[in-house]
Structure 1
Amino acid sequence: MSLKSKSAVVTGSTSGIGLAIARALAQEGANVLINGFGDPAAIEKERAGIEAEFGVKAVYSGADMTKPEQIAEMIALAETTFGAVDVLVNNAGIQFVSPVEDFPTEKWDQIIAINLSSAFHAIHAAVPGMKSRGWGRIISTASAHSLVGSPYKSAYVAAK
């Protein structure tokens, strides 16, 4: 399927699975916004590499997925730069392993914010444009933990 003239936002895409998803979408012709944390030079190398290799536009947003206003600004950046967000991939995720009685409250809140709430906030910001154009796709990555729990991963399992 060609995604020529489509644009995608992929959260958690400066490395790993998210970067592979962003590259696959670019390979199919989509402009992409990548998002995440990491070494600025490495992120710029990936962003520029996507543009050079696939002949699409690629931009970077360092939006913090625990901050709803930054998520909305990220979606607005993609809409302004590309004219639309046609595909949203909710991929951002973090992990922390600890027995529940020792699990730090701030880690619980951070994992729920990034692994669960950020998807809602991104969808909330992207759906109006998708509806107005009559086209859009939303993909949210999960894991085996959405089906089966694991010891010491209470927040991650709850979010999935």
Structure 2
Amino acid sequence: MQTAVITGSTKGIGHAMAREFKRHDVNVVICGRSDDAVSQAIASLGGCPGSGKLLGRATDVTDPAQLQALWDFAVSEFGRVDIWINNAGVAHTTTPIVDTPVEDVTTMVTTNMYGTIFGSQVAARGFAAQRSGRLFNVLGGGSDGRIRPNMGVYSATKRGLDLFTKALVKETAQSGVLVGQIRPGVLISDGWLREATRAPEQVTTQRKMLNIISDHVDDVAPYLVEQMLSTQKTGAEISWLTTGRLMKRFMTPGYAAKNDVMARYGM
């Protein structure tokens, strides 16, 4: 039975992916910032179908030692790690660059970049020793180089991680490690809802567009997990909101009304 480690998996897309891996009979180690968050996440996933076991460990992904301890914990419990996903991330997307508070800049840079870079180092070393393993970095808005309003700092971190991941693909090409990136699209998650409360007028004016381009994490996670499990080639780019899928939505009459994603959160 395979084992997957997912950072930032006590909520959002990480939590949904943990559920899907379990459904595919994969053991899962989740992590979050606190013991309480980890315990609550495990309890909420306990009744999900699948024979995979669920364990968790509180981890600060900006600390390399704690990430190494997360790897060691997974190996001690399950014998090895087969899939490592650097998913932990923070997005503050309601203010221009010059108005973004220092604490928000610091949190985004350290969590998004340090967390992914340090997590990649730990996983790549471990996988190289095993001579096998799959490492995936979750990217986000701006990783494609497009400029989006009020997302300058966040997008800069994700754009940088796109380059970082591509460099890691080349550096690990002969190590037996498969490295890939995941572009999950625009997801209505806990983090998105937090940002929505900061700028409710944007949600009101952009609701139709948001319902076309956005998805619920539970709808996207099954596809992402299936792709990660089936991918055989390093350098894979797993994208949910492809140009073809997006164009089909725009061309489908009434799609925005039928796909009222935010209504599922009572908005």
The TM tier, using the shorter chain, reads 0.7 to 0.9
Percentage identity across paired residues of the two chains: 30
- Corresponding residue for residue 9 of structure 2: 13
Deviates more, 1:65-74 or 1:82-91: 65-74
Q: Which string of whole-angstrom CA distances, capped at 9 and with x for unpartnered residues, describes residues 76-114 of structure 1?
A: 211111111110111111111322222222321211111
Contact 1:11 1:18 in 2 (8 A): yes
Q: TM-score, normalised by structure 2?
A: 0.53
Aligned partners of 2:141, 2:8: CA distance in 1, in Å? Answer: 18
Q: Give the 3-state SS of the residue equivalent to 2:109 in structure 1.
A: helix
Which residues of structure 1 form unaligned runs of 5+? none
- Corresponding residue for residue 131 of structure 1: 128
Aligned partners of 1:108, 1:35: CA distance in 2, in Å? Answer: 23
* Structure 1 letter corresponding to 2:14: G
Contact 2:42 2:55 in 1 (8 A): no
How far the C-alpha of 1:37 sits from its partner, in A, is 4.3
Contact 2:3 2:26 in 1 (8 A): yes
- Corresponding residue for residue 85 of structure 2: 89
Which residues of structure 2 form unaligned runs of 5+? 159-267
How far the C-alpha of 1:144 sits from its partner, in A, is 3.5
CA pair 77-133 structure 1, distance change in 2 beyond 3 A:
same
Q: TM-score, normalised by structure 1?
A: 0.85
Structure 2 residue corresponding to 1:99, chosen from 96, 100, 122: 96
* Structure 1 letter corresponding to 2:99: D
- Corresponding residue for residue 117 of structure 1: 114
Deviates more, 1:98-107 or 1:117-126: 98-107
CA-based RMSD? 1.9
* Structure 2 letter corresponding to 1:152: N
How far the C-alpha of 1:47 sits from its partner, in A, is 4.6
Contact 2:141 2:155 in 1 (8 A): no
How far the C-alpha of 1:17 sits from its partner, in A, is 0.9
Contact 1:47 1:59 in 2 (8 A): no
- Corresponding residue for residue 27 of structure 2: 31
Q: Which string of whole-angstrom CA distances, capped at 9 and with x for unpartnered residues, describes residues 111-147 of structure 1?
A: 1111122111112112222112221101111124212
* Structure 2 letter corresponding to 1:66: T
* Structure 2 letter corresponding to 1:70: Q
- Corresponding residue for residue 150 of structure 2: 152
Aligned partners of 2:17, 2:44: CA distance in 1, in Å? Answer: 13
Aligned partners of 1:132, 1:72: CA distance in 2, in Å? Answer: 14
Contact 2:9 2:32 in 1 (8 A): yes
- Corresponding residue for residue 76 of structure 1: 72
Q: Give the 3-state SS of the residue equivalent to 1:49 in structure 2.
A: coil
